[in-house]
Amino acid sequence: MELSKQTMAAKPFSNHWSEEDIILITYGDSIVKTDEAPLKTLKKFLDTKVSNTINSVHILPFFPYSSDDGFSVIDYSSVNESLGTWQDITQISEHYRLMSDLVINHCSSRSAWFDNFIKGEGQGSDYFFTALADDDLSAVVRPRTSPLLKEVETGKGKQFVWCTFSHDQVDFDFRNPEVLKAFASIIKQYLDMGVKIFRLDAIAFLWKVVGTPSINLPQTHEVVRLLRTLIESAKQDAVIITETNIPNTQNLTYFGNANEAHGIYNFSLPPLLLNTLLTGNCLYLKRWLMSMPPAQDGTMYFNFIASHDGIGLRPAEGLLDEAELNNLVQAVENFGGKISWRTTDTGQQKAYEMNISLYDAMQGTVQGKDQWNFERFICAHAIMFALEGIPGIYIHSMLGTQNDYQKLANTHHNRAINRRRWHVEALEEALNDSNLHHAKVLSSLKSLLALRIKQPAFHPNATQFTLHLGLQLFGFWRQSKDRKQSMFCVSNISDQPVVLPLSELNLIITESWLELLTQVKITDLNHELILSPYQTVWISNI
């Protein structure tokens, strides 16, 4: 029997993306309007403000939840009624490529499944991972300081439930195939509702074995491979991106042999790029970029420099030394940011995450505040937009949102500082006020994106080589997959003017060269460009 196109196995090493793919990261209610479902308000914002430059949207967990701004899911099958309905979700998915979280490591302690676990009967009664109170769990790696086990009285007696993140987030036991079957059903529903990209939240912690670190275990990778097979068999162009906020070398393993995640979060980029721009020295960023393997066809990097979470520091371990990390943490605190901590296996407290809006993180350098906030912020995005991979832009970066101290005070959660909820009226007022930076940020980023999505050399899998231009100029070369377009991307990452000798770029003399951002033709290949503080150039042969 001949298989239909829909049910045939996905062709391996296929790139389901191009240079036109840009993902906006947002909560369903990052923008609200009185007496209107936030998902409808979000759709209007997308349509009116960014639709000509952004074709994809990651709506952070839009399900009923009990804590962690959505990542403690009560019901995976429903849309949070305070946000809207499944119809609102599908209407967005009809016009934008929709990315959704699959919160697969844990769920809410207030879920029906966990209620059944407590009762000792019904679906969910055997879904959760438990350990013994006297088990040796000293090797377990986790990003929180709260006790790992939660004591619960159940119909089957006292149980100690594994909680990687918080006691409201109870971990699943994937040794039970019924858990996997439940998530297969959830995935199918999301596909039917228009989801094209699945973000596997906290996937590194999925499988637990007492007496081990219980992170990145072989069984976890096996589950990722299985989920990819299931998803691709249902929809060939659906994509998995793994969210693994861990050291860089561990993160890279989630590509597998191009048979696990299609994409991985480039978690080392945010702290390294911030460090580069705050120190005026690109040594560490350049070293890292040179060491990164190119993503083979069928896989890609998901680049981001800001998100709903803070700027993680674990992915910088082994890349930045302790002195660099300490200076970076101090600078962020000086700019009004907060620091989240974790307990190491030796019992020490170590900075885990920096919580700050990206715009405020760019207020100055390690020497203090200066006048280059806007230029530094735009420079960071110009670099990110040009790198190998698909760019993800947090909505609050798109709008130049600053630290939300009121929300921080109300919630006492450090991450709230970068999770402002804009009211439409206040947002429009901010965008229309020429004395504020918001409109300038939005316009500048859209201009960069409008150029980016037209350049074949910026295909997520186009060739990339790091340039060696000293420590104040960070640069790399991209070449389109058909080898017709060459692109030299160079940024002055310092607060002083820097000379860029074009002879250092080895521009081919038989080609015509254009600096895209200024639309200035380059006629003398021996000429020197003087880059202003935080200026970027994209030099293309077409």
Q: Render 439-472 in DSSP notation, one character per residue.
A: HHHHHHHHHHHHHHTT-GGGSTTSEEEE----SS
Indicate if 350 and 275 belong to the same structural domain: yes
Whether 135 is covered by a domain: the verdict is: no
Tokens standing for 101?
């979280």
Judgement on whether residues 253 and 184 belong to the same structural domain of the protein: yes
CA proximity to 340, closest of 143, 205, 148, 165: 143
Q: Is residue 142 part of a domain?
A: no
Q: Does residue 451 sit within a domain?
A: yes
**Domain harbouring 49, CATH code:** 3.20.20.80
Of 438, 458, 478, the residue that ends a domain is 458
Which tens digit of pLDDT belongs to each residue from 383-426?
999 999 999 999 999 999 999 999 999 999 999 999 999 999 99
Alpha-carbon distance of 101 to 511, in angstroms, equals: 45
Residue 24: which of 101, 88, 96 has the closest Cα? 96
The whole-number pLDDT of residue 6 equals: 47
| pLDDT per position as a tens digit, 477-521 | 999 999 999 999 999 999 999 999 999 998 999 999 999 999 999
d(CA 505, CA 283) in angstroms, rounded, equals 19
Question: Which pair of tokens denotes residue 189?
Answer: 């529903």
Find out whether 275 and 313 touch, Cβ atoms under 8 Å. no
370 marked among binding-site residues: no
Q: Are residues 442 and 521 in the same domain?
A: no
Q: Are residues 299 and 381 in the same domain?
A: yes
- Of 168, 201, 360, 404, which is the active-site residue? 201
User: Annotated binding residue at 412?
Assistant: no
Per the annotation, the verdict on 321 as an active-site residue is: no
Rounded Cα distance between 170 and 150, Å, is 8
425 and 527 housed in the same domain: no
Q: Can you give the pLDDT at residue 348?
A: 79
Helix (H, G, I), strand (E, B) or coil at 89: helix
309 is in an annotated binding site: yes
Where residue 521 sits, what CATH number does that domain have? 2.60.40.1180
CA-closest candidate to residue 244, choices 325, 312, 181, 344: 312
Residue reference for tokens 């409201």: 168
Q: How far apart are CA 27 and CA 83, in angstroms?
A: 10
With a cut of 50, list the residues of the chain below it in pLDDT. Answer: 1-7
Residues 246 and 330 in one domain: yes
- Whether residues 182 and 304 fall in one domain: yes
In a domain, 262, yes or no: yes
Same domain membership, residue 493 and residue 368: no
Do residues 154 and 125 lie in contact, with contact meaning Cβ atoms separated by under 8 Å? no
Judgement on whether residues 415 and 487 belong to the same structural domain of the protein:
no
Q: Which residues contact 211 (CB under 8 A, 6 or more apart)?
A: 135, 136, 139
Question: Do both 388 and 473 map to the same domain?
Answer: no
Q: Based on the domain organization, do 412 and 489 belong to the same domain?
A: no
What pLDDT, on the 0 to 100 scale, is given for residue 195? 98
Tell me: is residue 16 an annotated ligand-binding position.
Answer: no
Please give the model's pTM, rounded to 2 decimal places: 0.95
Q: Per the structure, how many domains does the chain have? A: 2
Residue 10 is predicted with a pLDDT of 65
What domain range is 401 assigned to?
Answer: 23-110+170-458
Query: Quick one: pLDDT at residue 54?
Result: 98
Establish whether 308 is an annotated binding residue.
Answer: yes
422 and 445: one domain?
yes
